[in-house]
Structure 1
């Protein structure tokens, strides 16, 4: 059963081992070449006026007493080659920063001229800004530790990118998505490595090697950009056919051939225009992918992570490195720093697409976009002010920050309020409903149903179910689709599915909220049970006192009565007392069919005594419906009061009663043919309001109508059933 897993694991391990060993060998070979190249033994830095180079540190033993840190070297010569003026072109990170081919070629020729002076003769001569001429022999080799930190940082990012590319490819070799990710990681590693080589060249490097490495970079970086664009076009929904993906990957090849053959200059920037177009071209398909994933939370979570990784990484690369270059300014970051920023987001992008463990992704995504957009706006406005209005850098930065603070932040808040921010669940928003449920539930089943309704409302869950099994604390299941909550005083747990109607995943904040709600509910339920226990004890005491004392006295009155009227009054009073005692027992239930039979017996006796014909009809009523004590007594007293009013005021010949169940309610129709006036003309005493109050206590309805007879219509909910019917 573990064979597929072992196969994948073995392939993954082999891929990582091969990639690591191969990369280390390549880096060691490159380091050996760099250490064997001629080196003047000086660490140099550019000058603001682009004239000469400043000595940052002296590493050559012969120069330690002749050149000091901080001096400026203006020119260099060797052999028969004359002095050549030094400027910032000697230390440029990447000649791609020049926007047109002519400037790029000039930079390449400048490197060739410098390299010629380093290798034309055993000894070279440099001229300082003070006019001093210093001759010395360049070092034929350099130590491994003399390589700049930039070299190791760039190669580290290349290694990690390569390892992730190999791991993804080994995991799903036949999947187009993983192949694009592999291409992205592989070309990212290639670009980082070659830039590390010529970025650590010292003053100059072999022109052929220099041109070769830069040509590789011209292909690798656009391939990274267009691999990401192709990924957006097919993941998670394939928006375009496969030939479009192929065309997308051929665009970098065409751009590379243009720079290699130098056919023509492209608008804005010959080397960076293609990557800008890839970034902008990915926005429409990203929006379409977002729309198609609207009701698929797992898919949307992966998509959000992917878009977060792509656009923050690409955005930082473009706005901090490419855009300043296009506007004629130095990049805001050195090349190695741009690569280092890109790498962690690339790793996060890979993990997010294939693991989906992204329960905090939405909040991070939104907050990250706010932060990134704010920073990019400041940088963009700053560059615009410097380029268009020619403000000083510090003044432009201040104006940019003010504009963003006064315009962008208020606009963002307005959009955030009006364009559909989904509110997070908070306890304070539902505390009223919480109290209402716990104080209003009379029975355990009522409480459980209300509790489920509240949880579904708090989290806007698509569904809520009761599942068997006890869990100790809330937890997330099915990669964020389910939230499992312990039951309250029961051997069950609650399963919430689909947060915000299946448009989002449950998060750690939801676990915390569910735990708080559950703990509060448990304590409240315990207090409620203690209160009910005390009330039950007091109720039982009152029931005993009424039964033992008042009941005993009424029985004595029955036997001591002097005439039939007193005896009947005492019997009726004893019956009412028993009903009152019965209503105090909130656990007492009576089957509806038995209650109707009891009412019929009493009604028939009274009708026979008054010489009234009784018609009794029972319609479709499930035999297992039950009435609680309050329902039984209130309905019985309304029936008794209706018959009493008819016999006392109307002298009817016929009295009818009809019972049926419909839509979960018990309907009763009482009618007689006595002499009565319209109900609108009645002057109500205590009987009619009393009946109305009793029915309203049961959440029912009652009214009267006069047709060819007087009808009393009432209905009450039937919300109690026996256990047998529940399981039927």
Structure 2
């Protein structure tokens, strides 16, 4: 597709040197290749530039016209002039077009979010005026060599119109955002004044061009309006955060523009470091995005830390440059300095000192979190009202919110800030209701990620303390139950035997054994792992004595393998056998009790049977602690205990009880 403009073939780094037509060679000067005619200081120079462009464009249309180019290696070549097509347009052209399209879309997005807001409407105008000056510049700044002077001047006028209109819209935007300072008729006056200045410049009524002065005055007016808005928003953190988006992105855009476009020539680095005007327009898009984020209140709660970091980095760069330039100027004015002395001063003294100072200034200082004692005190407070008071006091000391209220309706499971940072939602915790905090530091700032992390840390610490407290309570209950079971099963059996003993010496021995057992129960001390055979052998005389006192015969057998029993298993085995024998003595009215214990296939089995009167099923489910203790002990060992009437358990005559539990450490070998 032809564009009606003349072009030529050549590498992207080849610079035009001359235009050759009908044997005549017209030299191409650097002034012919400037991107923006506004850099010319006077109107006369601009008129001459446009006239020269017309002459070159006309010459390029002559039959057989060629362009002489020279590349970076010094190679000279001639390229035929031909019609320019879309494929010839460089990337920077499309980049500027893209900036214009994106700015329009962003403006439409913001005004779609807040159609009745004057700030959003004026921002939409900014989105329209940005392509009005970017797209004409995209055409003339990417010309291959020359274009018709009249067309060039028309595009330049359109560029001026877009820039002036953009500046007027920016001034009006800061007169209305975030708080409207003037009535809408003032906006019309600003645009009318801008239009008058634009017409004066275009018609050349004044002896000098005033385009740059107009844009500069607009920028100054916008800055003044922004400063007024900043002052008025000192008690409105949401408004100030929106302004901060603009100021931060403006700082980034301006800083990059200065670093990439203005600083290299000042520092003597040459023009090779200067980005083209087309890419420099991308910096306007940075500012545009900042304005959009502020107007849309986009994620303001995350802005503070980012904005302050950008400001510190920018200030740090300026500080380093200023100090370095100061050192260079000072050394240059000293008669005693030389290159070796300068190297020593800079390398051994100045650079280490500068690094130390910058680290002290810009390294963030992280305050230690010192609220653990308050959280522990809160969790261990029993009264609900006092817990609420302490939680509110702790949150107030951390954030000093303008408002704090309980929230019993929102399903808050994790702390989060509202999109504009004005509200912090704190989830329920330790039986406390959720909290809704508004505007930190008495309304002077918004909530941010650091505040969310602080609440997360508080809640995590509180949950750990609460879990520890709950585990402690469970441990107390479990220990109380253990002591209760042991007192019932061990001491109950011993005291029952002492009660039935007539002999005073034997009674004293039973009581001494009971006291020793009591000390073991309270301290839960054991002798380590014990042999199954030894445990059963120790129990045999005790069980035989107890039964003989009430006239009951004992049949006691231990068979199978031997095994090591952990202290808990040995204690449970003793307690179970003692409790079963106690039940026989108290309830069975039996004459014979059989005890059969064995280890086989890694399991311990204890059978206790009697020939008494049996039992009713209700007795197993009654309120007594004996049966419950037996089942609890068996379950704790990973086993079970069952009860059966006469003949129901492996054809054993009489009432039977069977305890079974697995072993962890079997011993090779069999019992005799």
TM tier, shorter chain? 0.5 to 0.7
Shift of 1:508: 3.0
Cα distance in 2 for residues equivalent to 1:120 and 1:219:
34
SS at 2:107 equivalent:
helix
For 1:536 and 1:295, the matched residues in 2 are separated by 55
The one of the two structures with greater contact order (alpha-carbon pairs below 8 A, sep at least 6) is 2
Q: Quote the offset at 1:454 in angstroms.
A: 0.8
In structure 2, distance between residues paired with 1:183 and 1:405: 51
How far off is 1:107 after superposition?
A: 2.5
Q: Which residue of 2 aligns with 1:631?
A: none
Give the structure 2 partner of residue 594 of structure 1: none
- Select the residue among 213, 232, 247 that pairs with 1:292: 232
Instruction: Assess if the C-alpha contact under 8 Å between 2:379 and 2:430 holds in 1.
Output: no
- In 2, the alpha carbon distance for the partners of 1:77 and 1:104 equals 25
* Structure-1 residue corresponding to 2:19: 76
User: Which residue of the other structure, out of 483, 494, 515, is the alignment partner of 2:424?
Assistant: 483
Tell me the alpha carbon deviations over residues 668-702 of structure 1, each in whole angstroms, 9 at most, x when there is no partner: xxxxxxxxxxxxxxxxxxxxxxxxxxxxxxxxxxx
Q: 1:431 to 1:128 in 2, by over 3 A?
A: closer
Does the 8 Å contact 1:301/1:361 carry over to 2? Answer: yes
**2:437 is equivalent to residue 496 of structure 1:** yes
Q: 1:164 and 1:306 mapped to 2: Cα distance? A: 15
Partners of 1:493 and 1:503 in 2: CA distance = 23
- Given that 1:461 and 1:496 are in contact with CA atoms closer than 8 Å, whether structure 2 keeps it comes out as yes
Task: Report deviation, 1:176.
Answer: 3.0
Tell me, in whole angstroms, the C-alpha distance in 1 between the residues paired with 2:403 and 2:261: 49
2:248 corresponds to which residue?
308
1:138 is the counterpart of 2:81: yes
Residue of structure 1 equivalent to 2:146: 204
Say whether residues 1:162 and 2:104 are aligned partners. Answer: yes
Question: Compared with structure 1, are the counterparts of its residues 539 and 96 closer, same or farther at alpha carbon in structure 2 (3 Å cutoff)?
Answer: same
Structure 1 residues 454 and 274: alpha-carbon distance in aligned structure 2, compared to 1, 3 A threshold = same
Alpha-carbon distance between aligned partners in 1 of 2:327 and 2:63, rounded to the nearest angstrom:
49
User: 1:380-427, CA deviations, whole angstroms, 9 ceiling, x for partnerless residues?
Assistant: 99999999x999xxx9xx999x9999889969977x99xxx9x99x66
Check conservation: 2:423, 2:438, Cα contact below 8 A: yes
- Aligned equivalent of 1:37: 5
2: CA distance, partners of 1:244 / 1:321: 35
Structure 1 segment 506-655 matched on structure 2, within 5 A: 506-531=447-472
- Whole-Å separation in 1 of the counterparts to 2:11 and 2:428: 70
What is the CA–CA distance in structure 2 between the aligned matches of 1:532 and 1:131, rounded to whole Å? 88
Q: Of the candidates 221, 224, 228, which is equivalent to residue 170 of structure 2?
A: 228
Picking from 350, 364, 371, the partner of 1:430 is: 371
Kindly tell me: are residues 379 and 530 of structure 1, through their superposed partners in 2, closer, same or farther at Cα, counting changes over 3 Å? closer
Judged with a 3 Å threshold, the aligned counterparts in structure 2 of structure 1 residues 412 and 102 are, in CA distance, closer, same or farther, namely farther
Structure 1 contact 76–127 (Cα < 8 Å) conserved: no
Check 1:494–1:243 CA distance in 2 against 1; reply closer, same or farther (3 A cut): closer
Rounded to whole Å, the distance in 2 between the matches of 1:382 and 1:110 is 44
Counterpart contact for 1:75–1:128, Cα < 8 Å: no
Residue aligned with 2:7, SS: coil
- The SS at the match of 2:6 is coil
In structure 2, what is the Cα distance between the partners aligned to 1:485 and 1:127?
A: 69
Cα distance in structure 2, aligned partners of 1:264 and 1:386: 44
Aligned residues: CA RMSD: 4.7
Aligned counterparts of 2:76 and 2:479: Cα–Cα separation in 1: 111
Q: How far, CA to CA, are the matches of 1:384 and 1:151 in structure 2?
A: 41
8 Å Cα contact 1:313-1:346 kept in structure 2: no
Cross-structure match for 1:448: 388
Change (3 A) 1:506 1:173: closer
What is the number of residues matched between the two proteins?
A: 467
- Could you tell me the TM-score, scaled by structure 1's length? 0.54
The alpha-carbon distance between structure 1 residues 278 and 319, as it changes in their structure 2 partners (threshold 3 A), is farther
SS in 2 for 1:39: strand
Name the stretch that deviates more: 528-537 or 284-293. 528-537
Whether the 8 Å contact between 1:279 and 1:314 is mirrored in structure 2 is no
**Equivalent in 24, 30, 38 of residue 88 of structure 1:** 30
Unaligned runs of 5+ in 2: 334-338, 483-672
Q: C-alpha distance in 2, partners of 1:253/1:325?
A: 34
Q: 1:136, 1:297 → 2: CA distance?
A: 62
SS at match of 1:42: coil
**CA displacement at 1:248 relative to structure 2:** 3.0
Output the CA distance in 2 between the equivalents of 1:221 and 1:153.
Answer: 18
Among 262, 275, 278, the alignment partner of 2:218 is: 278
The reply to whether residue 256 of structure 1 matches residue 198 of structure 2 is yes
Task: Give the C-alpha shift of residue 360 in structure 1.
Answer: 0.7
Residues 79-130 of structure 1: per-residue CA shift (max 9 Å, x gap):
49x5332122232221112233233333323322221221244434749799
Q: How does 1:46-65 map to 2 (within 5 A)?
A: 55=14
Q: 1:158 to 1:413 in 2, by over 3 A?
A: farther
Q: Give me the whole-angstrom Cα distance separating, in 1, the residues matched to 2:351 and 2:168.
A: 32
Instruction: Give the secondary structure class of the aligned counterpart of 1:272.
Output: helix
What is the Cα deviation at residue 200 of structure 1?
Answer: 1.9
Give, in whole Å, the separation in 2 of the partners of 1:236 and 1:530.
53
Measure, in 1, the Cα distance between the counterparts of 2:12 and 2:47: 23
Task: Quickly say closer, same or farther: Cα 1:189–1:383, change in 2 above 3 A.
Answer: farther
Partner of 2:556: none
| Partners of 1:165 and 1:184 within 8 A in 2 | yes
The whole-number CA distance in structure 2 between the counterparts of 1:487 and 1:125 is 77
Using the TM superposition, give the Cα deviation of residue 243 of structure 1 relative to its aligned residue in structure 2, in angstroms.
4.5
Query: What is the deviation of 1:322?
Result: 7.0
Using the TM superposition, give the Cα deviation of residue 213 of structure 1 relative to its aligned residue in structure 2, in angstroms.
0.4
Say which SS state the counterpart of residue 480 (structure 1) adopts.
coil
Larger mean CA deviation between 214-223 and 312-321 belongs to: 312-321
Hey, what's the Cα distance between the residues in 2 that align with 1:448 and 1:131? 82
How many Å apart are 1:436 and its aligned residue? 5.0
8 A Cα contact 2:236 2:443, kept in partner: yes
SS of the counterpart of 2:145? coil
Question: Given the superposition, is the C-alpha separation of residues 532 and 230 from structure 1 closer, same or farther in structure 2, using an over 3 Å criterion?
Answer: same
Deviation at 1:534, TM superposition (A): 7.0
SS of the residue aligned with 1:496? strand
Aligned equivalent of 1:352, options 275, 290, 294: 294
Q: 1:518: how far off?
A: 0.9
SS of the aligned residue for 2:58 comes to: helix
**TM-aligned CA distance change 1:536 to 1:128, over 3 Å:** closer
- Asked if 2 retains the 8 angstrom alpha-carbon contact of 1:437 and 1:451, the reply is yes
Contact 1:159 1:189 in 2 (8 A): yes
For the residues of structure 1 that align with 2:215 and 2:326, how far apart are their CA atoms?
A: 21
CA apart distance, 1:150: 0.8
> What TM-score do the two structures reach when normalised by structure 2?
0.59
Which moved further from structure 2: 504-513 or 156-165?
504-513
Q: Which has the larger radius of gyration?
A: 2
Distance 2:245 2:19 in 1: 52
Distance in 2, matches of 1:105 and 1:383, equals 40
Distance in 1, Cα, partners of 2:8 & 2:276: 23
Structure 1 counterpart SS, 2:81: coil
